[in-house]
Amino acid sequence: MTRLLGRFWPDTVASRAILILVAALLAFHLLGYWAFRVGVESFASAGRDGSLAERIVSIKRAIASLPDGAERDRVAHDLSSASLDVHWSKGSLVLGSTPATERTRALEARLRQFAPDLAAESVRVGPADEGAAATGADEADRHMMLVSIRLDDGSWVNFSSSTLGATQHPDWSLTAIMICFAVGIVVVALLLLRWATRPLRDLAVAAERFSLDQAPQPLPEDGPAEVRRAARAFNTMRERIQRLVTERMQAMAAVSHDLRTPITRLRLRSELLDDDATRRLIDADLGEMEEMIDSTLEYLRGGISREALRPIDLASVIETIVDEHLDQGHKVSLSGLNSAPILGRVLPLKRAFSNIIGNAVKYGGSASVAIVEAGSHVVVTVEDEGPGIAPAEMERVFHPFVRLEESRGRETGGSGLGLTIAQAVTRSHDGTVVLENRAEGGLRVAVSLPKLGDGA
């Protein structure tokens, strides 16, 4: 039940406010209309039935004062009108064979209430179809109500009317007016709510566009007090994040500089060693230390670069990386588009694809690179012939310093930041990185980036 309500429950503040407003207006209109109808109908029925009761009593007295039956019948016809038909007879047209209904009981009670003189008389109330068979009335008259009052001599004065005990029909014009008012109120409320919630939409857009590699643009602090407070908190949070990242980068740059100095001294001293094997091992260790420092700094930048976005050919960038691996004797192939223009930064993208292709060569023995176009994006796939990655580890390999035991042992080198950096750089270009195991074995890495002019 909760899931069903959640599926149909609006998802924005404005739509929820409109729904609540419409529900409140609907309830208010229904209750108001019901109260109005009950009040008007009660008042109209009371006035109508009171007038009819007084008229019935007056006609009954006039007919009772006449001694002759023929004269009584003539006077009864003369006193009839379009709304009240009067007959004098020796018997009651209300036979009493039909059980009393709520309508007949209510009508009889109102007649006795508005005409106390009837309380002592014998009064019968019933539907017209009960006496239709006795009077030969047609079907059109059977919806009327009959009231029979006994005179002192045992004869009866019979009254029939369609207005006796009748209910008021709905006033559709009034309903239409109320609907128009409700629609007008909802339209005005919708416009006002959209205006009132605009700062919230601006806050959401600013949060989605927040990036560390862009100059901060303070969010306007306007709107209601709660929205101004949220915008102020957002601006403060962004400034703190920018300051924290800047301070961290400065500290790491200082540490990197301090570490590179002894590494350089050690490399110079290693050149003085006579043992070539030992010198090569020391140089490899020093090279790995420098690579770890560079990877850590790149990770801490989170894909941030001072290089400005500009149109570049991604195919040329990847071709350069592939050529470097071919020069080193690695098994790497390139296919697909010869030109793939995008809006990006050359150095971060080169680092990201170097990490991905380098991982394929290091852990899979080879790399098959393909550049294709998919709609508004350029997709670069890198496939290897390695052991792949367990499905449960697909997300975890993007975490910093994560090295899988089976295929990423310490002997292969690396710091566990390659995919983390690649993902950060790709996201800074509004792209995505997806990993999947190939059916024939090995891992497939698909990087999708927006084409130049599409989403850039």
pLDDT of 140: 42
Rounded average pLDDT over 164-174: 56
The distance in angstroms from the start CA to the end CA of the chain is 43
Rounded average pLDDT over 33-49: 66
152 within domain boundaries: yes
User: Is the confidence at residue 456, as pLDDT, over 60?
Assistant: no
Residues 351 and 379 in one domain: yes
184 within domain boundaries: no
Rounded average pLDDT over 90-100: 75
pLDDT of 133: 42
Higher pLDDT: 133 or 79? It is 79
Residue that is last in its domain, among 239, 270, 301: 301
Higher pLDDT: 453 or 334? It is 334
Q: List, in sequence order, every residue forming a beta bridge with 443; answer none if it has no partner.
A: 437
Comparing CA positions, the residue from 157, 132, 130, 128 lying closest to residue 145 is: 128
Q: Which domain holds residue 110?
A: 14-161
Quote the tokens at residue 56.
């019935």
pTM of the model: 0.47
Report whether 52 contacts 163 (CB < 8 A).
yes
pLDDT of 445: 93
Residues 330 and 425 in one domain: yes
Residues 112 and 157 in one domain: yes
Report whether 422 contacts 363 (CB < 8 A).
no
pLDDT of 331: 92
Comparing CA positions, the residue from 245, 355, 251 lying closest to residue 301 is: 245
pLDDT of 409: 42
Q: pLDDT digit string (tens) for 150-161? A: 887 888 888 887
- Say which CATH number the domain at 137 has: 3.30.450
CA 153 to chain centre: 79
Residues 294 and 376 in one domain: no
Residues 386 and 327 in one domain: yes
User: Is the confidence at residue 164, as pLDDT, over 70?
Assistant: no
User: Is the confidence at residue 88, as pLDDT, over 80?
Assistant: yes
Residue that is last in its domain, among 134, 161, 188: 161
169 within domain boundaries: no
Residue that is last in its domain, among 244, 277, 301: 301
Average pLDDT, the chain: 76
Quote the tokens at residue 447.
């990087």
pLDDT of 406: 46
Quote the tokens at residue 320.
């350069």
Residues 433 and 380 in one domain: yes
pLDDT of 408: 42
Higher pLDDT: 42 or 88? It is 88
Residues 99 and 143 in one domain: yes
135 within domain boundaries: yes
344 within domain boundaries: yes
Rounded average pLDDT over 426-430: 86
Distances (CA, A) of 134 to 13, 77, 95, 131, 437: 69, 19, 9, 5, 94
Q: List, in sequence order, every residue forming a beta bridge with 148; answer none if it has no partner.
A: 124, 158
7 within domain boundaries: no
Residues 220 and 324 in one domain: no
SS (H, E, C) 221-240: CCCCHHHHHHHHHHHHHHHH
User: Is the confidence at residue 127, as pLDDT, over 60?
Assistant: yes
Residues 314 and 248 in one domain: no
Residues 355 and 275 in one domain: no
Report whether 353 contacts 321 (CB < 8 A).
yes
Confidence class for position 295, pLDDT limits 50, 70, 90: low
Residues 314 and 280 in one domain: no
175 within domain boundaries: no
203 within domain boundaries: no
Q: List, in sequence order, every residue forming a beta bridge with 449; answer none if it has no partner.
A: 378
Contacts with 190 (C-beta within 8 Å, 6 or more apart), sequence order: 14, 18
Residues 30 and 155 in one domain: yes
> Can you tell me whether residue 453 is helix, strand or coil?
coil
Task: Provide the domain count of the chain.
Answer: 3
- Say which CATH number the domain at 292 has: 1.10.287.130
Q: pLDDT digit string (tens) for 360-417? A: 998 888 999 999 999 899 999 999 988 888 888 888 888 776 766 444 444 455 556 7
Distances (CA, A) of 184 to 36, 187, 189, 192, 357: 21, 5, 8, 12, 62
Q: pLDDT digit string (tens) for 199-233? A: 777 777 777 666 655 556 777 777 667 777 878 88
